[in-house]
Amino acid sequence: MSGLSVKLPLVLDSDDGAYKLIKDFKSMVQQNFKTLMLTSPGERIMDIHFGVGLRQFLFEPNVDLVYDAISTKINEQVSKYMPFIQVDDIQFSHDTDDPRLDGTFIKIRVFYIILPLDIEDILEVAEKIN
């Protein structure tokens, strides 16, 4: 079976060919959205404006003002690079049930709709902060 895109991180897979492939649009959009979130502006060759750059906020204070800046950046980048997505909500949390989130991690949940497919999805990213 052919795929839509290579799955990241790269994994050898003899069934799909050299590497494991993404075979559905929802998974492909989620992978591309995660790439957009984690790529720092200037990191992508030929498009220095691409990327939310979550890591640039790592040493910022853990306050609502920073959350607003992150939300604004996410919405700007989605509007420019993934206009087929509608961001419905962005939530920030310090989930104490998750051992990775020990007060220095923040979990970002982005609730969105893939408009052409009318599919709702959630992207979760946990990043170390301050």
The residue among 31, 36, 38, 40 whose CA lies nearest residue 11 is 31
Positive or negative: CA dihedral 62, 52, 126, 87: positive
Q: Which CATH class is domain 5-128?
A: alpha beta
What Rg, from alpha-carbon coordinates, does the chain have? 16
Domain ranges across the chain:
5-128
Cα separation of 128 and 52, whole Å? 16
Confirm whether pTM is higher than 0.85: no
> What is d(CA 67, CA 127) in angstroms, rounded to the nearest whole number?
13
> Is the pLDDT at 28 greater than 60, yes or no?
yes
Amino acid residing at 114: I
pLDDT reading at 113 higher than 80: yes
For residue 96, the model assigns a pLDDT of 57
Higher pLDDT, 90 or 107: 90
**37-95: per-residue pLDDT in tens?**
999 999 988 999 999 998 888 777 778 898 999 999 999 999 999 999 999 999 988 65
